[in-house]
Structure 1
Amino acid sequence: METVNIDIVSDVVCPWCYLGKNRLDQAIANVAGEVDVAIQWRPYQLNPDLPPEGVDHKRHLAAKLGGQDAVDRAHQMLEDLGREAGIAFNFDAVEISPNTLDAHRLIRWAATSGTAAQAETVRLLFKANFEEGRNVGDHAVLLDIAEQAGLDRPVIAALFSSDADKDAVRQEIDMAREIGVTGVPCFIIEEQYAVMGAQSVEVLTNALREIAQMKAGRPAH
């Protein structure tokens, strides 16, 4: 069975990234037994200039999207798409637009405990932000998520009290921009194929099968 490697460039406050993650999960389930998929999560910040404490989410989003009507339309569409993907978006509960640098540090540290721990950390971060309205820029919230994902809480707390990996995360984000990532999610498959946006489950399923076939030296159908 061929292994398809995917680097997912994502931000935990991007609803399309959450949607893309769940659709990819469904695509991976569709090819279970045919294709093995190995995932690494890579950082991106939609709002890198936000202060560490974050800002008022509703005001920030209205200013960014051009008014409350635009926000309401976007949220309605995402809620509908989310239901299909198993996501219970609760935008009313979100009060803070956080700076996500520390969330990305946590995702990076989770990887040292394995891909399953990293995947669970990412899932919990998305769920906390979009379904529970928790501030994923807050260290107390991040430490709870770390513990839930099976990470060592005191170790993570010690890391957060330092500047560990802040520069490394920023460098990774700069690298993503340098290779042409201008929006997220971006799925970089086998370091050569880039799939932008929250594609459908069908598109992702076909991409996994075709790339696995190419890796095996068989023509894609």
Structure 2
Amino acid sequence: MQTVNIDIVSDVVCPWCYLGKNRLDQAVANVAGEVHVAIQWRPYQLNPDLPPEGVDHKQHLAAKLGGQAAVDRAHQMLEGLGQEVGIAFDFDAVKISPNTLDAHRLIRWAATSGDAAQADVVRRLFKANFEEGRNVGDHDVLLDIAERAGLDRPVIAALLASDADKDAVGQEIDMAREIGVTGVPCMIIEQQYAVMGAQSVETLTNALREIAQMKAAGPAH
């Protein structure tokens, strides 16, 4: 069974990233037994200049998208798409647009406990933000998520209170921009193929199968 490696560049406050994650989860389930998929989550910040305490979400989003009517249209579409893959978007519950640097640091630290732990933290961050309206820039929220994912709460608390890995996360984000990532989600498969946006389950399933077949056929293919 071939292993297909995927680096997912995303931000935890991007609804399309949450949608893309759940679609990919379904695609991975579709190829179970045929292809082993190894996923690493990479940081990106849609709003790197937000203050640590965040800003009012509704005002921020309306200003960014060009008014409340545009926000409402986007949310209505996303709610329908989310239902197809098990996401119960509750946009009314979201009060704060946070700075996501600390969330990305947590995702980075979770990777030291393995891919499954990192994936669990990512899932909990998306769910906390988009379904529960929790502020994923708040350290108490991040610590709860870390603990529920099986990470050592006191260790994570000490790391969050420090500047640990802030520069490393920033460098990864800069690297993503340097290689041409201008929006998220961006799935980089086998460090060669970039899949932009929240593609359909069918598209992702076919991509996984095709790339696994190419790997099995050898470098000439």
TM-score normalised by structure 1 residue count: 0.98
Distance 1:161 1:80 in 2: 39
After the TM superposition, which residues 1-221 of structure 1 pair with which residues of structure 2 at under 5 Å, given as runs? Answer: 1-217=1-217
Whole-Å Cα distance in 1 between the matches of residues 78 and 35 of structure 2? 29
TM-fit CA distance, 1:113: 0.4
CA distance in structure 2 between the aligned counterparts of 1:189 and 1:135, rounded to whole angstroms: 31
SS at match of 1:61: helix
Shift of 1:116: 0.3
1:19-65 Cα deviation digits (max 9, x unpaired): 00000000000000000000000000000000000000000000000
Counterpart CA distance in 1 for 2:71 and 2:190 is 36
Letter in 2 for 1:64: K
Distance of 2:126 and 2:25 partners within structure 1: 14
Residue identity in the other structure for 1:208: L
Rounded to whole Å, the distance in 2 between the matches of 1:185 and 1:146 is: 23
Distance 2:149 2:45 in 1: 22
Q: Distance in 1 between matches of 2:5 and 2:36?
A: 9
Aligned pairs, how many?
A: 219
Q: Percentage identity across aligned positions? A: 89
In 2, Cα distance between the equivalents of 1:161 and 1:188? Answer: 32
Cα deviation for residue 166 of structure 1 reads 0.1
The 3-state SS of whatever aligns with 1:112 is: helix
Distance in 2 separating the partners of 1:183 and 1:149? 28
Ranges in structure 2 where 5+ consecutive residues have no aligned partner: none
Q: Following the alignment from structure 2 to structure 1, what is the Cα–Cα distance between the partners of residues 196 and 45?
A: 16
Which whole-Å CA distance do the structure 2 matches of 1:146 and 1:164 have between them?
16
Whole-Å separation in 2 of the counterparts to 1:87 and 1:25: 12
With normalisation by structure 2, the TM-score equals 0.98
One-letter code of the match for 2:111? A
Q: Could you say what secondary structure the match of 1:3 adopts?
A: strand
- Determine the C-alpha separation between the residues in 2 that align with 1:104 and 1:62: 25
Q: What is the aligned-residue RMSD (CA, Å)?
A: 0.9
Structure 2: how far apart are the matches of 1:46 and 1:179?
16
Residue type of the alignment partner of 1:74: A
* Offset from partner CA, 1:142-167 (integer Å, 9 cap, x none): 00000000000000000011100000
Distance in 2, Cα, partners of 1:139 & 1:173? 21
Q: Gaps (5+ residues) in structure 1?
A: none
What is the CA deviation profile of residues 166-205 of structure 1, one whole-angstrom value per residue up to 9, with x for unaligned ones? 0000000000000000000000000000000000000000
Distance (Å, rounded) in 1 between the aligned partners of 2:119 and 2:41 = 8
CA distance in 2, matches of 1:91, 1:144: 21
